Amino acid sequence: MSNPTDPFALFDTWLAEATAAEPRVPNAMQIATADADGRPSLRTVLLKGHGPAGFVFYTDTRSRKGQELGARPRLVALFHWKSLERQVIIEGTATPVEDAVADAYFASRPRGSRLGAWASEQGQRREPGVLEARFAEEESRHADGAVPRPPYWSGYVIVPDRIEFWQGRPSRLHDRLVYVADGRGWSTHQVNP
C-alpha cells in the first residue's frame, strides 16, 4: 500500500477503484453513533460528497441518528469493499451542512424521494397504510411541482480526525495505514493486523 501524505487522495483512488469493481453502491458507508447512555447504533447511509472538509451524508434530523448526533456529534464511518478486500474507517465529528448546501442537494433528488422525505417520520413506528396515505397527501400538497426541503431534513459533514485504510493480504499480513490529524495536517503510521 502506498503512503501518500493526503488521506483524501488515497480515498479518491480507492473509491474510484470500488466504483469500477462494485458499481451497485460503492458509496455505501456504515455509521455508528451513540445515545446519551453510550448505547451504540449502526446503520448504512450513502456518501454524497467528500473532500478535505470531510465526508457528507444526508438524513432526517428527527431520526435516531439525527437525535444522537445532536446530543453527541462523535461518530465512526466504515466503507467496506469486499471484492477488493478493502475497508476505510473514519473517526470524527459530525457538523451540520449549511442550509444552502442542504437545499441544493435536496433539489437534486428525484421528486419521489423529496415527497418521501415529507411523508416519512423516519425511524418511528409505522402503521399499515399510513406512509402511503401521507405520501399521497404530499403529492397533492405539492401538485404545483415545487417540493422544498423539510426543515428537519439536512446533511452532516464528518470532519475526520483519524482515518484508517485496511488492505487484505494473504496469511493475515494485512496492511493497515492510519492517518491522524495533528493540527498541521496528517501524520501517518502503520499498525499490525
Q: How confident is the model at residue 80 (pLDDT cuts 50, 70, 90)?
A: very high
Q: Is residue 86 annotated as a catalytic residue, yes or no?
A: no
Alpha-carbon distance of 92 to 73, in angstroms, equals: 8
The predicted pLDDT at position 164 comes to 98
The predicted pLDDT at position 3 comes to 61
Q: Is this structure's pTM higher than 0.85?
A: yes
Region 164-168 average pLDDT = 95
Is the confidence at residue 135, as pLDDT, over 90? Answer: no
Task: State the alpha helices, DSSP H only, in the chain.
Answer: 7-21, 64-71, 99-108, 111-119, 130-141
Q: Which residue has the cell 474507517?
A: 89
Dihedral in degrees, nearest 10, Cα atoms 41, 43, 48, 52: 40
Render pLDDT for 22-74 as a digit per residue (tens, 0 to 9). Answer: 888 999 999 999 998 999 999 999 999 999 999 999 999 999 999 999 999 99
Percent of the chain's residues with pLDDT above 70: 98
What domains are defined for the chain? 7-99+153-190 (2.30.110.10)
Catalytic residue among 39, 172, 176, 184: 172
* Selection from 52, 3, 83, 26 nearest residue 158 by Cα: 52
Percent of the chain's residues with pLDDT above 90: 69
The predicted pLDDT at position 1 comes to 61
Q: How confident is the model at residue 128 (pLDDT cuts 50, 70, 90)?
A: confident
Region 18-25 average pLDDT = 90
Render pLDDT for 94-109 as a digit per residue (tens, 0 to 9). Answer: 999 999 999 999 999 9
